[in-house]
Homo-oligomer: A and B are copies of this chain.
Amino acid sequence: MIPRYSRPEMTAIWSPETRFRIWFEIEAHATTALAEIGVVPKEAAETVWEKGRDAVFDVARIDEIERVTKHDVIAFLTHLAEIVGPEARFVHQGMTSSDVLDTCLNVQLVRAADLLIADIDGLLGALKRRAFEHKLTPTIGRSHGIHAEPVTFGLKLAQAFAEFTRARARLVAAREEVATCAISGAVGTFANIDPRVEEYVAEKMGLTPEPVSTQVIPRDRHAMFFAVLGVVASSIERLAIEVRHLQRTEVLEAEEYFSEGQKGSSAMPHKRNPVLTENLTGLARMVRSYALPAMENVALWHERDISHSSVERMIGPDATITLDFALARLTGVIDKLLVYPEQMQRNLDRLGGLVHSQRVLLALTQAGVSREDAYRLVQRNAMPVWRGEGDFLTLLQADREVTAALKPEAIAECFDLGYHLKHVDTIFRRVFGASE
């Protein structure tokens, strides 16, 4: 966790304070459930809540105990006993550490997912606003980095909106994957604890009971969770790279917002670099990389081993904090993106009309020229334009083999920008819904 790539709300989920608070809630709810089914005295449960509800768990003290016991949950329980008093012996009855640890981790991941979903909602809002703002701002569409045919800048953002709508759905599914609770004992058999305790705690913590746990909650759930984060990060990378391309000196169709005090380069004061989106590209690499150890965590030995734990201590915070930061940063970039429609038009005009070549090709075919011949005719007129030797329309109108099939006016009609934008409405309706 790097402070500069962290935001406080997500970071707080992973603080020791939050963790011990969740542990307390799990233990206290379990004690209540145990009391309800008569295993421990009701007063014990009440005392636990009374003394613990507003207690501040002393992280340093717990660490101190752990240094002796080398066991974090026992250290916590020992400290809890210091707070609660003798009734503490009724806490954790029949439970195993993983009941607390795994349920806690899932509570944290669910809360993290909630923040990430809210982040995406923010990003979707920015994307939608800018997409409608530039719904009909023409710009060149590029494949292979080469000018292809006109699109609009709004379409580019509509694509991103659609992609992050999918990202949102994936995060919702990922949240569901990890929203389970296990209070099932040392090997998941409920030998020493009634399954009703698990049901009770699950409900109180906003989770569902894990159908079958084996001391631990199965890690395929977490692997899926982190894999989704990696895919979402990859979508961030896509949009970040789009902005980086648009900000290139030679393209300059858009720029990241550049604040007054900001310095682009210690050596070259004129430079305005897309540093936010470059940064996002790197952060995406990191979030993606966490998917792999999460998948390797699945194959625990027998009922469990603890190899997953060190991995999760690292990627639990790192992946969610980084993705949260990246989504927020991307939202800011989109929200404040400087867009230059005139430069978009200038680039559009750059290729002397070549962007209309496919339409000419089609017109020729429809006028009865074979596909092969049409291709040849278009290409022989396109090549000089490409080399900067003339204008595509003029050349075509001067090519007798072309004019034998298409009159000059018919050729000119192929050079109409509006032609390319006639279905923008259709696409926007698909992406944003009919009501927009």
Known contacts A195-B423, A220-B238, A234-B298; is-contact A357 B430 (Cβ 8 Å): no
Q: How far is the CA of A149 from the CA of B191 in the complex (A)?
A: 9
Alpha-carbon distance between A372 and B86 when the two chains are bound, in angstroms: 11
**Copies of this chain per assembly:** 4
Task: Contacts A159-B188, A270-B386 known; list 12 others, CB within 8 Å.
Answer: A146-B272, A151-B189, A166-B220, A190-B422, A220-B231, A227-B291, A245-B302, A279-B306, A281-B305, A286-B293, A286-B314, A288-B292
Distance from A221 Cβ to chain B, minimum over Cβ atoms (Å): 7
By size class, the interface of chain A is 35 or more
Q: Which residues of B contact A265 (CB under 8 A)?
A: 96-97, 143, 148, 186
Question: Which B residue sits closest to A196, measured CB to CB?
Answer: B426
Partner of A266, one of B71, B177, B214, B421: B71
Of the stretches A116-124, A375-383, A405-413, the one at the interface is: A375-383
Q: List 12 A-B contacts (CB under 8 A).
A: A70-B262, A70-B263, A71-B263, A143-B303, A143-B305, A146-B274, A149-B189, A159-B218, A268-B355, A269-B378, A282-B310, A285-B307
- Are A420 and B191 also in contact (CB < 8 A) when A146-B247, A228-B227, A427-B211 are? yes
With A271-B148, A375-B269 known as contacts, the answer to whether A189 contacts B423 (CB < 8 A) is yes
Are A379 and B282 in contact, with the CB atoms below 8 A?
no
**Interface majority SS (helix, strand, loop, mixed), chain A:** helix
When distances are taken between beta carbons in the complex, the residues of chain B under 8 Å from A313 are 2, 4-5
A291–B318 alpha-carbon span in the complex (Å): 16
Inter-chain contact B159/A234, CB cutoff 8 Å = no
Chain B residues with CB under 8 Å of A378's CB are 269-270
